[in-house]
Chains A and B, each alone.
Chain A
């Protein structure tokens, strides 16, 4: 098969300053087999239409900026080659389930607010002030201990999993796959002392029990984080804590 000269890219556009409803716009972009979809968007922006709006930065699938729906599936635009999208057309929409700011730019504030809510940070052991100011040596953690959480620490916060999650679409206050994976990441770290603080968020009705085990999050994750597994693990922990709390009243929180 000979390569096409161009590829058709259709973008669902919207601008908050105009009264217009979202509209589809088509762009005919020069085709290069090894160009990424992001590069095609940049060509549009530079040469064809400076008003097309999208986020990007690293162009190597690590900063998490460039997510959008590509033919109905959440993807990183810098991670897709035109070769794999030919002959087109390619239909682009903003990530599903998020409010849109403009064109392909979505509002990520909801997710950013959920990070402190799930305690997505490591709580180190209490230290004397002097020791905390000038720690003398790294603590030890074996590769086996690392393996417990390492996969969940690979999350680039790209939000593709939220777009794939039907539950988040129905119920936006569900903490969602990435936030719950980050909760698991810290809970499972041998250096962490913050588990107790995360329990309330985990067990609330917006926490792990809201997940209906569809598993699309894991399928779309570009980093192999497997949020579904993380959530399941937290469900197990949540159920165990619940049973213990019944057996040992007064233990909880």
Chain B
């Protein structure tokens, strides 16, 4: 089928891109392809909030400084400048479209504290911010029939010719038939890759295809070694307990009842609450502190592993019901615990990929016509550690930028490619169908077996703390897994209609590519910074040699090649990253 612009992904970034493209150019024929109906996308699970300067005591300079120091100076500062300046306008736009932001008594938008942010900068819609943002964007998209939705279509590959992007290949999930979208512009908005780890906060669909799709066609993946562990997820399931809990004044206690963060350069504990200290420190530091407490056996034991305690009791029933209703329900339902009377056991879980497909500020990648936005992309704003609530804002700011740039590109693009493209499409689609046709052959591993082995390799070698030996072990294991995958997987299901086992096998191939890239990028960074923390000879930050982004170039058969390029600095020289210290108690209203 022919169209002007294909958007792959119906989460926050994809929907914002589609809206921006159609508002910029209402005549454009846009197809929005998503493997789930858009409002089921992972953005729906985001709880805590979205950052934008709103209050009088805040400024763009402060949002910039918090973001850049939070990312330990690996942030691309030009991108951060553009980002912080665009956030307020985007959140206001969402308000215009109906997002029910939580309000103050006089009707103004309410904001809350988030980790690493010095001002109450995070807009929220109770603890269902992503849900409300996603439904608002989805509902608004219903007003624009020029956005044609292909719900439950799965993208398997891109098509490229001498002019650049020429199309996107997919599968109609219900029928199992191949689809070719011929277009000169595409936006990847496929989300992160948290599911390459065993313990993660992500939805089942967050398997990293977008990154792998671009990488297969020579586009670099940037800064993939930076994987964020969220310090407060439920043991076992990984279900997230939002940072908003600590933004509302929640405490973290070890098995001895001590606010242990004071022992990790985040104290003193009082006065509380106060920004950028203790429980409101950044996620990398909190997850690393857990790791030490666990080694020192100061954690509590649960049936699903060790944990520390998130204490919300002092907030009281009324505030919990108003500000954190979903968290309260999750604790009651899944743990049988009432947070009004009992602390919630929590531990770190993989949450977010700071890196992704390398793009400019307009979402453009090195492949002409291919754009990327949202968690699958790397504009460079998060550096070595993302601050909570910057991501939801990013979806809007850079989703819009990519949508507008892709719309402009498609207007002036070369005409659609000809017959040779069709042959190329058939050949490439054939690979996915071969997986299906050959799935009955004896001796092949099940999808779940390879997936479990990938999880084990990542948890073992590329965890919260890393060393050369472990990372090498992971690289080796992942290379072997990819080789086994290429030799074929076993499928019970070789029918076409809604074959989710087959789709999981395709996802696994992409996930293995992303996992191997994370491991190699991590091994190549011989320093410690943000979420990349080593316990071998490279346990310190090294600005002289490693104030650089990593760029990974992937190979379908071999290990990725890693290069390093300098970070763009504009007005903040690398400095000491300090949290905690003295400070005044702030009133939470």
Contacts and interface: CB of A to CB of B under 8 A. Distances in A.
A16 B136 CA distance: 35
Contact of A57 (B95, B135, B205): B205
B496 A138 contact: no
B525 interface: no
Q: Select the residue from A49, A122, A182 with max chain B CB neighbours within 10 A.
A: A122
Contact of A135 (B92, B98, B108, B109): B92
B98 A138 contact: no
| Interface size class of chain A, counting residues whose CB lies under 8 Å from the partner chain | 35 or more
Interface stretch (B59-67, B139-147, B248-256, B510-518): B139-147
Q: Select the residue from B96, B136, B237, B326 with max chain A CB neighbours within 10 A.
A: B96
B107 A140 contact: yes
Interface in B125-151: 128, 131-132, 135-136, 139-140, 142-143, 151
Interface in A14-62: 15-17, 34, 36, 45-47, 49-51, 53-62
B105 interface: yes
A56 B503 CA distance: 13
Contacts of B204: 56-59
A2 interface: no
B77 to A, nearest CB: 24
Nearest to B125: A153
A145 B107 contact: yes
B44 A63 contact: yes
Contact of B42 (A57, A139, A145, A150): A57
B321 interface: no
Contact of B39 (A46, A105, A123, A157): A157
B146 to A, nearest CB: 13
A79 B497 contact: no
* Chain A interface mostly: loop
Interface in B98-116: 98, 100-101, 103, 105-109
Interface string A100-124: 0110010110001001100011111
B367 interface: no
Q: Select the residue from B42, B109, B204 with max chain A CB neighbours within 10 A.
A: B204
Contact of B108 (A34, A64, A138, A186): A138
Nearest to A182: B139
Interface in B3-37: 36-37
Contacts of B97: 121-122, 124
A146 B92 CA distance: 17
A71 B448 CA distance: 29
A145 B98 CA distance: 13
A135 B89 contact: yes
Q: Select the residue from B98, B101, B140 with max chain A CB neighbours within 10 A.
A: B98
A218 interface: no
A101 B498 CA distance: 8
Interface string B70-97: 0000000000000000000101110111
Interface in A81-117: 81, 101-102, 105, 107-108, 112, 115-116
Interface of A: 15-17, 34, 36, 45-47, 49-51, 53-65, 79, 81, 101-102, 105, 107-108, 112, 115-116, 120-124, 132, 134-143, 145-146, 149-150, 153-154, 156-157, 182, 186, 189, 191-192
Q: Sort A-B residue pairs by CB-CB distance and give the 5 closest, nearest first.
A: A122-B98, A140-B107, A50-B492, A46-B448, A121-B139
25 contacts: A17-B496, A34-B304, A46-B446, A47-B446, A50-B446, A50-B501, A58-B40, A58-B45, A60-B45, A62-B44, A62-B131, A65-B36, A101-B497, A115-B142, A120-B142, A122-B136, A123-B143, A124-B98, A137-B92, A139-B96, A141-B103, A141-B107, A153-B100, A157-B39, A191-B96
